[in-house]
């Protein structure tokens, strides 16, 4: 009986202690959060320390707000104190991964947190490249879905490339190209996701439906992320540019062709890289394309067959393969991308009408593709000397080009700066108000009988 009483008292005492401890944790959480939200980090610090010590799994705010607090301390500290806060911040990410590897919605954030940790090590120069790369590599391999930071993805590759340049034994040029392809595909995936969201909002605007305040905010966020992805992807291409020459690519792919000729992913990446670097005149490109199409007839292989026939001058057969490529593709964004590439090929060969046709087809699948509008604008501007009878008419072509460039700027934040610059250039080449007055053309309509087949109304001076 005595033993039972003692056990009961011990149990009740434990419950009481747990209850008191629980109350203290919630009290500290409330105090910490209130101070941290108004950036009074001096008062927030001690309850935060207590939270980490007694109940580190109570709420993700311990880590989200704690990160902001530590970064503020680092910014405003010097010497040993600064070093200690930096170490605390790195430890915070490890604890964050332990207690809150998932968001409130139950979605993994492991890749995101690891990438932030790696970026922190870069920002404060706390680790060697090899260690930082390993953390990025874990982020990408364990949870690439939440590893979305454009800057992080770029640094992931930049550090790997730097390791290659320093002669790290197991980092070969071949592996560098593989990593480049993986990250390029990741960038394109993320940009595709933002594009789909932007296209829905653009369609709503086009239909005359006003966007809600939330949609306006989301649109701004999507555009910012699109610009960041585009910028860092261009930076990625700049890093690899000196290495991905035909002189390097052809021997590398030739050496590995027999080994990977039954690997559709490898074949597709090799063909894509050779095409983008204008190495498609080499016989190896033909072998890659034929092997790819025989192994797995796809949108990409059909496109490359179209490219090969285009080079031979077999235009009709080329168009047949190009159209097959579109039919085989299931994704609207990939259809648009392929159609745009076809439009570029026709522009390069001087077939402007076909180029515009395919650019417009691309816009049918992706209304926010500003590059397609810019391409059409350039096609018009390039025809200024060949369309129109008088000098005034020839220069009037630039009004058509201006309209397309402005459209590009309005739908695509990723090329808005370039589009606005291009529009300004075309506006300067179009007839001025003085020209309109002296030629007595105010408000008149000019029709272009060349391939353009469109008309433009001269701005009225009234």
Residue of 84, 226, 44, 237 lying closest to 157 (CA atoms): 237
Q: Is the pTM of this model over 0.85?
A: no
Count of structural domains, the chain: 2
Distance between CA atoms of residues 236 and 182, nearest Å: 12
Positions of the chain with pLDDT under 50: 1-19
Residue 423 forms part of a structural domain: yes
| Token couple for 284 | 């190896």
Contacts of residue 225, Cβ cutoff 8 Å, sequence gap at least 6: 150, 190, 194
DSSP code per residue over 41-83: HHHHHHHHHHHHHH-TTS-THHHHHHHHHHHHHHHT--HHHHH
Distance between CA atoms of residues 194 and 111, nearest Å: 19
Final residue in a domain of this structure, among 244, 271, 295 = 244
Residue the block writes with tokens 């080009």: 401
Distance between CA atoms of residues 320 and 303, nearest Å: 10
Q: Is the dihedral of CA 187, 190, 196, 197 positive or negative?
A: negative
Helix (H, G, I), strand (E, B) or coil at 456: strand
408 lies in which domain range?
Answer: 368-462
- CA atoms in the 13 A half-sphere facing the CB of 356: 16
Contacts of residue 147, Cβ cutoff 8 Å, sequence gap at least 6: 111, 112, 114, 115, 139, 140, 153
User: CA torsion, points 189, 194, 200, 206, in degrees to nearest 10?
Assistant: -120
Q: Under a CB-based contact definition with an 8 Å cutoff, are residues 391 and 360 in contact? A: no
pLDDT of the residue at 96: 97
Helix (H, G, I), strand (E, B) or coil at 108: strand
- pLDDT tens column, 266-276: 999 999 999 88
Q: How much is the CA Rg of the chain, to the nearest whole Å?
A: 30
Residue 352 forms part of a structural domain: no
Q: Under a CB-based contact definition with an 8 Å cutoff, are residues 374 and 415 in contact? A: yes
Q: Under a CB-based contact definition with an 8 Å cutoff, are residues 157 and 180 in contact? A: yes
Residue 326 forms part of a structural domain: no
Final residue in a domain of this structure, among 191, 218, 244 = 244
User: CA torsion, points 374, 377, 382, 388, in degrees to nearest 10?
Assistant: 180
Residue 421 forms part of a structural domain: yes
Residue 93 forms part of a structural domain: no
Number of Cβ within 10 Å of residue 447's Cβ equals 11
pLDDT of the residue at 164: 96
Residue 51 forms part of a structural domain: no
Residue 432 forms part of a structural domain: yes
- pLDDT tens column, 405-460: 999 999 999 999 999 999 999 999 999 999 999 998 999 999 998 999 999 999 99
Residue 393 forms part of a structural domain: yes
Final residue in a domain of this structure, among 244, 259, 285 = 244
């Amino acid at each position: 009986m005595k033993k039972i009483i003692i056990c009961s008292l011990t149990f009740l005492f434990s419950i009481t202690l747990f209850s008191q401890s629980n109350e203290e944790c919630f009290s500290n959480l409330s105090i910490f959060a209130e101070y941290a939200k108004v950036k009074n980090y001096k008062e927030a610090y001690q309850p935060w320390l207590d939270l980490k010590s007694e109940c580190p799994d109570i709420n993700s705010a311990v880590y989200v707000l704690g990160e902001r607090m530590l970064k503020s301390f680092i910014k405003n500290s010097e010497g040993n104190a600064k070093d200690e806060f930096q170490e605390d911040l790195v430890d915070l990410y490890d604890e964050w991964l332990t207690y809150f590897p998932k968001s409130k919605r139950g979605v993994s954030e492991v890749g995101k947190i690891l990438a932030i940790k790696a970026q922190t090590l870069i920002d404060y120069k706390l680790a060697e490249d090899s260690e930082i790369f390993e953390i990025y590599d874990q982020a990408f391999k364990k949870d690439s879905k939440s590893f979305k930071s454009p800057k992080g993805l770029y640094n992931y590759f930049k550090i790997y490339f730097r390791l290659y340049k320093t002669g790290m034994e197991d980092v070969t040029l071949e592996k560098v190209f593989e990593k480049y392809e993986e990250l390029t595909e990741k960038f394109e995936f993320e940009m595709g996701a933002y594009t789909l969201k932007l296209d829905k909002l653009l369609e709503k605007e086009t239909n005359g439906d006003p966007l809600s305040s939330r949609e306006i905010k989301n649109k701004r966020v999507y555009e910012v992320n699109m610009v960041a992805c585009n910028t860092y992807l261009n930076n990625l291409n700049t890093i690899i540019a000196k290495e991905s020459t035909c002189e390097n690519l052809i021997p590398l792919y030739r050496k590995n062709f027999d080994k990977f000729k039954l690997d559709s992913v490898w074949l597709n990446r090799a063909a894509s890289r050779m095409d983008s670097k204008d190495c498609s005149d080499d016989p190896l490109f033909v072998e890659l394309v034929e092997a790819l199409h025989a192994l797995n007839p796809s949108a990409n292989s059909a496109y490359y067959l179209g490219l090969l026939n285009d080079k031979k001058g077999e235009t009709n057969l080329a168009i047949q393969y190009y159209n097959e490529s579109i039919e085989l593709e299931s994704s609207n964004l990939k259809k648009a991308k392929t159609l745009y590439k076809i439009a570029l090929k026709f522009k390069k060969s001087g077939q402007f009408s076909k180029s515009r046709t395919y650019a417009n087809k691309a816009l049918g699948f992706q209304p926010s593709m500003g590059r397609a509008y810019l391409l059409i604008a350039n096609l018009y501007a390039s025809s200024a000397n060949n369309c129109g009878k008088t000098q005034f008419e020839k220069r009037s072509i630039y009004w058509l080009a201006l309209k397309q460039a402005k459209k590009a700027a309005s739908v695509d934040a990723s090329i808005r700066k370039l589009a606005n610059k291009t529009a300004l250039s075309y506006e300067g080449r179009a007839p001025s108000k003085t020209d309109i007055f002296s030629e007595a053309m105010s408000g008149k309509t000019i029709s272009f009988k060349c391939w353009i087949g469109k008309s433009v109304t001269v701005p009225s001076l009234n």
